[in-house]
Amino acid sequence: MAKLKDLIDIFLQPGEYFVADANYQLRTMLGSCVSITLWHPPTRIGAMSHFLLPTRGRVAMDMQSLDARYGDEALMLMLADLERSGIRAAQCQAKVFGGGNMFPGHARKGGKHVGRKNGEAARELLQSHGIPIVSQSLFGIGHRQIIFDVSKGDVWSHQVRLSAQEAQAEDKQL
């Protein structure tokens, strides 16, 4: 089993996904974006996405035109790569992170902020594919640091919450 220091470290930018074996550790930083991790325990193969929006509202014509900036398409890309390794969606365990409200002082009455829309979409997408969610850390205020150790299926999430003063300062800068 790989030691944490021996793992190949991959940092995902917004709109990226990565499928890896037990030799990898995947990381990202999330604000209103959401990350879905999928893990297949028997093979110790996993995948992680970092998407910005739930959907672009149109159906991609083929696999080449899919865009991982959108949650529905990122999941399709991850599942296609996993399937090439013989792993079906329902055999995976999912963990979901992010969907933070980065500008809490700018909430619209009755409206959902983009982070909430992203988190809710992620849960619905996983449910529609029959993938159980075994852990989640969604919503709240501030950003999260995420680390996925594919060798064990462990995901660490650290949420950095804004203080009331920082939130007010952020709102004033807009």
**pLDDT tens digits, one per residue of 78-116:** 999 999 999 999 999 999 999 998 777 666 666 678 999
- Report which of residues 8 and 59 the model is more confident about: 8
CA distance 51 to 14: 6
Say what the pLDDT of residue 162 is: 62
CA distance 50 to 53: 10
Output the domain CATH number for residue 28. 3.30.1330.200
Instruction: Give the domain extent around 110.
Output: 4-173
- For strands 24-30 and 8-11, give the pairing: parallel
pTM: 0.85
**pLDDT tens digits, one per residue of 24-80:** 999 999 999 999 999 999 999 999 999 999 998 776 656 678 999 999 999 999 999
Q: What interhelical angle do 71-84 and 114-128 show, nearest 10?
A: 40
Q: Tokens 């809710």 map to which residue?
A: 120
Number of domains in the chain: 1
Q: Is the pLDDT of residue 125 over 90?
A: yes
Q: How far is CA 15 from the centre of its chain?
A: 10
Q: How many CB atoms lie within 10 A of CB 35?
A: 29
